[in-house]
A and B are shown apart, each in its own frame.
Chain A
Amino acid sequence: MPRPDAAAKADAFLELRGIHKRFGGVHALRGVGFTIEPGEAYHLLGENGCGKSTVIKIMSGAHAPDEGEIVLEGKVYYSLTAIQSLSAGIETVYQDLSLLPNLTVAENVALNEQLVASGGRLARLFDRARLRETAASALATVGLPTDRAFLGTVVSDLPLAQRQLVAIARAIATRAKMVIMDEPTTSLTRREVDNLIAVVERLRSEGVAVLFVTHKLDECYRIGGHAIVFRDGQCVEQGPLANYTKQRLAELMTGRRIDAERYRTGAPMAGELFAASGLSLLPNVRDVSFSVRKGEILGITGLADSGRNELAMAIAGVMPATGGSLRIDGKAEKIRHPSEAIKLGIGYVPEDRLAEGLFLDKSIFENEIALVVRDLANGFGVVDKAKGRALADKLSQDMRLNTRNLDLPVGALSGGNQQRVLIGRWLSILPKLLVLHGPTVGVDVGSKDTIYRVIQQLAEAGMGLVIVSDDLPELLQNCDRILVMNNGRVVAEYDARETDEDQLYKAMLVSKPVTQPAVNTETAR
């Protein structure tokens, strides 16, 4: 039951005090406390598994804390229910978006407003006119269409970026006083991110507090506000974001020094490993030519619709190319199916590791050997477990997995460790060329560091790597060369040591090819 509390700050919207939460033997939150004031922006920073998600769930009423107090507009609660939290104006945009795939856009955006207005009681008429009105105004705010056809579209028919905006629209459809956004920009293009930042500005000017959870520090600085840094379930630092450098924040999150310098120290070896000429995957990829040398790391970037994703899939045979030719070790080859790519020594680590890559309920061991399980089997199809174990053991050591228990289900691991398991699986086929598609999406700073070090080691050992990513610092830190795609074509090529984010962004956004001395005339013809 809420009770008035004289000690609470009059102007604070929400205050957490000494919050503890345990799951079984895991002490996820150890006495966390912070204050949220109206109209302010906060950035909740920390590595995966540091307790960020748990604290969000406590604020949104999904979990009850074991100890501690939640002071909401001057009233003290020991826990909140989902409806209490929503009625108080706390809205959350979850990382998984929490959309209902079978309902329409309008229902996803605005149904909750009616649910909250009825206090969670369901024996109420459902007001369709109000639903459309509320939905349309919220969609307009985030820059989505508001016509009837779009309002009536079923959410599972929308592309991911639009779903993310729909989830944000739902959060602002009610008269929210605080909006929590858990990695809201992972699938947004730069323009959509700009739009989101404008939306946040507007919310703040209306006195709405915004709490971000993100790994993208650049975006934090663009938004400004306060940093709240978590480590191991504790709040280790709070203060205005401007007081910290990126490097200092990374150190606070990990508790160790993180080098933001270039990871790439080696150089490509002689000898062409892979070459594509005139590669097309209509209508997304048109006439793309490039080559990769042994031990070379090639970066490919571009906007979400530039064709970079399809190019990666064409190389791996996931979506076979519709034209052009490939040369591997000097021999012309065709890749029509992922199995053909594997035979030719091309590995592909997909972007969406949960949907396309990992078997979440299977063990690390089973995931690691998935590609070579046939080679491990004898004539009767019985898998040599001991051999498989030894292989999985070696791979997880190579990938510096932070658990020795290979029987753990992959679903129980953090994002960073899952990604390492997935990369490890591909190393089992001893690829000549490894295509990494968004290798650190949703991965925390510490895991990023490990993955980058592994990437460099692989290149030193002579493997060719292609990193397809929209994380520009990642490409600048790791690659030899960076290709920029725009409208299905490669429009620019840069030496990673001689370019910067601004130059890359310009090439990604400009609708005509940049006239740049570094442009490879052959590819940009």
Chain B
Amino acid sequence: MSATHLTESAAVPVPRPNRLLELVRRRPEIITLVLLVAICVAVSIINPAFLQPSSLVDIGRASVVMGLFALGVFIILAAGGIDVSFTAIAAFTMYSMTLLVKNHWPDAPISLVLVAATAGGALLGVVNGLLVHYLKVPSLIVTIGTQYLFRGILLAFIGTVWIMSLPPTMGAFGRLPLVQFDSGGRTITLPFYFLVLPAAALITWWMLNRTLMGRAIFAVGGNANVAERLGYSLRTIHVFMFAYAGALAGLAGIIHTAANRQSNPFDLVGTEINVIAAVVLGGARITGGTGTVIGTLLGVLLVVVVNSVLVMVGIPSTWQRVVVGAFILLAAAFFVFCQKKN
């Protein structure tokens, strides 16, 4: 054996990780985007009606409430927790707000109603955060508990009557157009409240990437014990993130009511899994510490598109669940595959 021999053996190339797999591993939301584009292309080939503005506007409108929920769930997931109480928070705030405005101040300005609903949701979120922090119980258990609690209080003490006619300002907000145009004799309206989703996404992105709180949320998602040791206040982070998710849920609730022009206290609860599925499809790991706002929005779009287009290509709507379930399994298997390969 000689020196040259050794240099040779040292120069033997180490198998390079596949660049594409590496990219997908670092940015799993690429898979979500690819799936989304693939579905859209496939559907528009089978049924070109899909590309009409009316169906696109429908998808946009249907994404708002789910998108707001998903942003909240994403923040909690990023910090290594899970929240299933957000639908109950939304139902609670939207119904009690509607009742309050209807009975006491029917002409309340809509901006005030929105702010009050957001604040109410945040307050319920603070309850979640304090319970998670002081009980030291996993957030899944705490929020299952508070989901029952919030919903029970709503139905037992506040009311069970379906409100069919909203206060005028709320009804008007639901109808306020952002863009309106005629298409094939029908008037298509992209409502003003659609703007709330991109605005909330932008704020959430900014908070996560440009403030210390945002980095702290990911730090806690990486390893809560280490984060605490490094001087991050877990109490502040727990309270903040649940309050933030609660605020988004409160806002989503009032928009849900305004959009549907009615307030049903039995509404929303039961759709949590759908939202969590969308966030996970967007590349956030259920174990915490990862994910992006863009991925979350893509996950929401994917679920909304699947839910709304299957009918257009002649697949019965009962198959939606099968398709969403298959996507979740496929995407999860693929994420794991990419990780192993590297």
Contact = CB atoms under 8 A, between A and B. Distances in A.
Given A125-B212, A286-B9, A512-B2, A120 B233 contact: yes
B219 A98 contact: no
A511 B6 contact: yes
Contacts of A154: 26
B221 interface: yes
A437 interface: no
Contacts of B227: 100
A100 B222 contact: yes
B215 A99 contact: no
Contacts of A126: 209-212, 214-215
B231 interface: yes
B317 interface: no
A103 B10 CA distance: 32
Nearest to B80: A102
A86 B232 CA distance: 11
Given A101-B223, A286-B9, A524-B1, A86 B210 contact: no
A232 B197 CA distance: 60
B98 to A, nearest CB: 32
Contact of B231 (A82, A286, A525): A82
A88 to B, nearest CB: 12
A116 B231 contact: yes
Interface in A476-525: 486-489, 491, 511-513, 524-525
A102 B3 CA distance: 41
Nearest to B232: A115
A524 B5 CA distance: 12
A62 interface: yes
Nearest to B236: A122
Interface string A370-405: 000000000000000000000000000000000000
A486 B3 CA distance: 12
A226 to B, nearest CB: 26
A122 B211 contact: yes
Nearest to B4: A512
A101 B10 contact: no
Contacts of A124: 211-213
B15 to A, nearest CB: 8
A283 interface: yes
Interface string A91-122: 00010101111110001000110111010111
A123 B3 CA distance: 59
Contacts of B229: 60, 62, 82, 94, 98
A116 B6 CA distance: 49
A491 B9 CA distance: 14
A171 to B, nearest CB: 11
Contacts of B210: 125-126, 128
Contacts of A524: 1
A122 B213 contact: yes
B231 A86 contact: yes
Contact of A98 (B10, B211, B230): B230
Contacts, number: 106
Contact of B218 (A96, A102, A487, A488): A102
Nearest to A115: B231
Interface in A118-174: 118, 120-126, 128, 154
A179 to B, nearest CB: 15
A323 B252 CA distance: 62
Contacts of A28: none
Interface string A456-489: 0000000000000000000000000000001111
Interface string B1-36: 111001101101010000000000010000000000
Nearest to B237: A122
A83 interface: yes
Given A112-B231, A120-B231, A101 B212 contact: no
B289 interface: yes
Interface string B91-106: 0000000000000000
B240 interface: yes
Interface of B, secondary structure class, is: helix
B213 A103 contact: no
B107 interface: no
Interface of A, secondary structure class, is: loop
A344 B26 CA distance: 42
Contacts of B223: 98, 100-101
A487 B6 contact: yes
Interface residues of B, number: 37
Contact of A111 (B219, B289, B290): B219
A120 B231 CA distance: 7
Contacts of B323: none
A102 B9 CA distance: 34
Nearest to A513: B1
B190 to A, nearest CB: 34
Given A120-B231, A487-B9, A101 B289 contact: yes
Given A103-B218, A115-B232, A126-B211, A98 B1 contact: no
Contacts of B12: 282-283
Interface in A61-101: 61-62, 81-83, 86, 94, 96, 98-101
B10 A111 contact: no
Contacts of B10: 487
A524 B1 CA distance: 7
A131 to B, nearest CB: 9
B26 to A, nearest CB: 8
B226 interface: yes
Contacts of A98: 223, 226, 229-230
B216 interface: yes
Given A102-B289, A512-B2, A112 B214 contact: no
B237 A512 contact: no
B226 A100 contact: yes
Contact of A102 (B7, B212, B290): B290
Given A123-B213, A487-B9, A524-B1, A103 B219 contact: yes
Contacts of B212: 111, 114-115, 118, 121-126
Contacts of A103: 215, 218-219, 222
Contacts of B209: 126
A511 B290 CA distance: 42
Contact of A107 (B211, B215, B240): B215
B222 to A, nearest CB: 4
Given A112-B230, A283-B14, A123 B221 contact: no
A525 B1 CA distance: 6
Nearest to A511: B6
Contacts of B7: 511
Given A111-B219, A124-B212, A488-B9, A511 B3 contact: yes
20 contacts: A94-B229, A96-B226, A98-B230, A99-B226, A100-B227, A102-B222, A103-B222, A111-B212, A112-B231, A118-B212, A122-B211, A122-B236, A122-B237, A125-B210, A125-B211, A126-B211, A488-B9, A489-B1, A489-B6, A489-B9
Q: Which 9 A-B pairs have the closest CB atoms?
A: A102-B289, A100-B222, A102-B222, A122-B213, A512-B3, A82-B231, A98-B226, A83-B231, A124-B212
Given A102-B288, A112-B230, A511-B6, 14 more contacts: A60-B229, A111-B212, A115-B212, A115-B232, A120-B233, A122-B216, A122-B236, A123-B211, A123-B212, A154-B26, A283-B9, A283-B12, A488-B9, A512-B3
